[in-house]
């Protein structure tokens, strides 16, 4: 059976150490480690994790290579990121958030997973990301919080 490929942004890694988000974040990484899902991250995620506390970085370091896919930044990803910004989906200050969605879209993941309710997991933003994706020849990628993805 094909495992779903989940693009997980930096907020989910940090969520493992936040009282409100810890249970679902940890469960998601446990399900990835158990082989239920494949983890997809981008160079944007790796860049953001460089400045994170050691315990947050350790989550990625502890993943099996077979369960992990790293999406390298390409001109295609940069163009889609810039299209989101040009369309006003996100402002210039949210360039990294746009990079996450662009990397996930170009990599054609099954689901984007994030706790970023302001810039990514928000119904207006999701609709706008989908519209830009369709205009540029990419499919709509479902965007959910870990709470909506992990087993109850």
The average pLDDT across 27-52 equals: 95
Q: Write 92-101 long-range contacts (CB < 8 A, 24+).
A: 94/119, 96/44, 96/47, 96/48, 97/9, 99/42, 99/44, 99/73, 100/7, 100/9, 100/10, 100/42, 100/44, 100/45, 101/129, 101/141, 101/143
* Sign of the torsion angle spanned by Cα atoms 19, 23, 25, 30: positive
The two tokens of residue 126 are 């999701």
Contact (CB, 8 A) for 129 and 97: no
The average pLDDT across 24-46 equals: 96
Confidence check: pLDDT of 22 > 80? yes
Instruction: Kindly list the domain boundaries of the chain, sorted by start residue.
Output: 4-149
The two tokens of residue 51 are 């400045």
Residue 29 CA from chain centroid, whole number: 13
Percentages of the chain per state (helix, strand, coil), in multiples of 5:
55, 15, 35
Confidence check: pLDDT of 152 > 90? no
The whole-model pTM stands at: 0.95
Q: pLDDT at position 66, please?
A: 85
Reported as a pLDDT band with limits 50, 70 and 90, residue 65 is: confident
In the CATH hierarchy, which fold is given to the domain comprising 4-149?
Rossmann fold (3.40.50)
Exposed, middle or buried: residue 88 (CB in 10 Å: 0-12, 13-18, 19+)?
exposed
Length of the chain: 152
pLDDT in tens, 104-119: 999 999 999 999 999 9
Q: Using CA atoms, how far apart are residues 152 and 148, in angstroms rounded to an integer?
A: 9
| Listed residue (69, 57, 83, 61) closest to 137, CA to CA | 83
């Amino acid at each position: 059976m094909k495992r779903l490929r989940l693009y997980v942004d930096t907020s989910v890694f940090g969520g493992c150490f936040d009282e409100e988000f810890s249970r679902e974040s940890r469960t998601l990484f446990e399900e990835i480690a158990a082989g239920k899902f494949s983890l997809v991250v981008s160079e944007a995620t790796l860049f953001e994790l460089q400045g994170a506390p050691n315990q947050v970085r350790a989550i990625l370091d502890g993943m099996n290579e077979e369960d992990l896919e790293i999406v390298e930044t390409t001109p295609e990803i940069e163009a889609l990121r810039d299209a989101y910004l040009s369309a006003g989906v996100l402002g210039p200050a949210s360039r990294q958030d746009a990079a996450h969605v662009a990397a996930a879209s170009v990599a054609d993941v099954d689901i984007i997973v994030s706790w970023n309710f302001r810039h990514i997991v928000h119904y207006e933003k999701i609709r706008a990301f989908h519209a830009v994706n369709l205009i540029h020849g990419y499919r709509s990628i479902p965007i959910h919080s870990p709470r909506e993805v992990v087993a109850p």
